[in-house]
Structure 1
């Protein structure tokens, strides 16, 4: 599609700041009128005909909504700050496949991380010392295996996962339940700054000035799981929000992993419950890496006498031309989760590399 014009971008930001206009209603307006600009110009009666409440339509031309959009446009002019629209090529392809994907994503940091293979690590805010150590260790190992570590910047397991990734010199993505101008919790302001300084990314679907609200944190969990190939739950009680993330991951067709624990430890009960429900039991990093490589189930089998890398269908495509992740999925007919898992394995073997946002073939 052609680039989004400045006028259309401003119109989308105005829509995004309207009360009671979630992702589904946002898309309904775009689909009905063809653009955000046309939706803003349409009469209120046309909005009502789409089933949208008056609270959505009435403030769309107000000075407050215009000012909010102007502030967001000003924020975008600063280095390292981006807005990704759900129908643009730079929107994360895996997330775009999910139901109720955010129409807009504010990103501070490196947006290219969102197209790399990600594994989410989540768990209790009141984690044990052993749980924190486990989250950091797994994050370091996942980074070493070629993955970006994604989590929610919360206290406890989330923070430990981000730290582990940073300690290993890898990429990490923090999905906030607030606007990017309201880092929460306050204790993680320093961690958020470090993520930005070390090449990571902070991400939110919420307007920049949105403060912490209880309903926003469960809602952001669908983004954490939607961006990722799988979700690892390290410690969680049966009422933990991490179990929401795990169940959303299962609904989105992602892998769910859980670390088991003692029946006497309250923080292990949620993980044990997930394992009973079918999550993969994880005791070491290879349990995750092998599970993801199990998605490889290749297409046509290579002739016995041919070297494996010569017959690889993805390498055959990449020898012809570089591809983005989404383009390679379309050309190969592979589903994105399987494709990204296989590309990670090929990257570790030195067969492919990622350059300027595209996958390229490397000679052995």
Structure 2
């Protein structure tokens, strides 16, 4: 029998975690490791100590030996189009070898050779603003257009926008690092992105098919995301959250870190502004990221054409005000000094021309990538 079934059966044992899995598989074949973990062979001294402290774990894994037959798991993975890759496999990503948090097993849909290209991670809050999503989509598309692989977590908000942007570029081959089984697109609204990333790039998880998207798995996956990046760009982040966990993992690995500045009173940018205040390099344009990779393309003389009618007069003042932060009608009256009728007409024209979007009484600037978010 191939090793795939034993690896998948092991990785999916209840209460299995990355550290336990690494130990069980260390210097053992997957079949030997499965026997040791499930009671068919004597445990190692370390595992014996774990079992003494947690007798229920030993009983649970012995019970699951019959419930998780390796031959069935080999078939499940094959049916889902999922490759099972252990650390001894030649195709195991070189970027993860030697990493202190390297996963012992990877489950893969797509082409791992995508990782041989230059790689930039784009991450941020799930509760992103329209402007934040548009920025992530623009960065994703322009980086992919420059031949850069965009790495993200396929979460709602910034992650999804970055991947949509990367997929919009001809030849874009993004990488998605997820925290659940590769047969369960999560969140469901990202199913189309999920499948297209698998077709054009690669999806990677450390969990076997059928694994649900439990909350504790996502902070764990962030170490893999950080380890696979050369540069990590945070587009929007609150003061606490998963993005800053990834930032911490990136700092531990000496990954180049960049952040997009936002309005000082925007909760969505509180984390990124704090990073910049602490000395993290700001990313205002894709060229800034390319420079961090040593690929400054600004001298190429090619600019993206924006077909929207350019704002003029008071419309320009409104766009500038809303670019700083989302604005209400009352705020714009105070900021611009316009009469209510003149302001309402200008707002209607800016919405018609695709420069502004009104969301719950707040007006936000829309850039040319907004249709991808």
State whether TM-score is above 0.5: yes
Contiguous gaps of at least 5 residues in structure 2? 296-373
Distance between the aligned counterparts of 2:188 and 2:80, measured in 1? Answer: 24
**Residue in 1 that maps onto 2:28:** 34
Distance between the aligned counterparts of 1:15 and 1:73, measured in 2? Answer: 12
State the secondary structure of the residue aligned to 2:151. strand
**Residue in 2 that maps onto 1:194:** 196
Q: Structure 1 residue 100: deviation in Å?
A: 2.0
Which moved further from structure 2: 9-18 or 39-48?
Answer: 39-48
Distance between the aligned counterparts of 1:15 and 1:125, measured in 2? Answer: 32
Distance between the aligned counterparts of 2:202 and 2:143, measured in 1? Answer: 17
Distance between the aligned counterparts of 2:279 and 2:184, measured in 1? Answer: 37
Distance between the aligned counterparts of 2:183 and 2:62, measured in 1? Answer: 24
Q: Structure 1 residue 66: deviation in Å?
A: 5.3
Conserved in 2, the CA contact under 8 Å of 1:105 and 1:204? yes
- Structural mapping, 1:78-227, within 5 Å: 78=79, 80-169=81-170, 170-197=172-199, 199-227=200-228
Distance between the aligned counterparts of 2:293 and 2:24, measured in 1? Answer: 38
Which structure has the larger Rg?
2
Contiguous gaps of at least 5 residues in structure 1? 1-5, 295-364
Distance between the aligned counterparts of 1:188 and 1:113, measured in 2? Answer: 21
**Residue in 1 that maps onto 2:328:** none
Distance between the aligned counterparts of 1:124 and 1:168, measured in 2? Answer: 23
Deviation string 1:54-76 (CA, Å, 9 cap, x unpaired) is 44443445466653643431134
Distance between the aligned counterparts of 1:79 and 1:265, measured in 2? Answer: 42
Number of residue pairs the alignment of both structures matches: 287
- Structural mapping, 1:1-364, within 5 Å: 6-31=1-26, 34-39=28-33, 40=35, 41-44=40-43, 48-49=47-48, 51-52=50-51, 53-60=54-61, 62=63, 67=68, 69-78=70-79, 80-169=81-170, 170-197=172-199, 199-293=200-294
Q: Structure 1 residue 37: deviation in Å?
A: 2.4
Question: How big is the alpha-carbon RMSD for the aligned residues of Structure 1 and Structure 2?
Answer: 2.3
- Relative distance call for 1:115 and 1:86 in structure 2 (3 A) is farther
Deviation string 1:306-359 (CA, Å, 9 cap, x unpaired) is xxxxxxxxxxxxxxxxxxxxxxxxxxxxxxxxxxxxxxxxxxxxxxxxxxxxxx
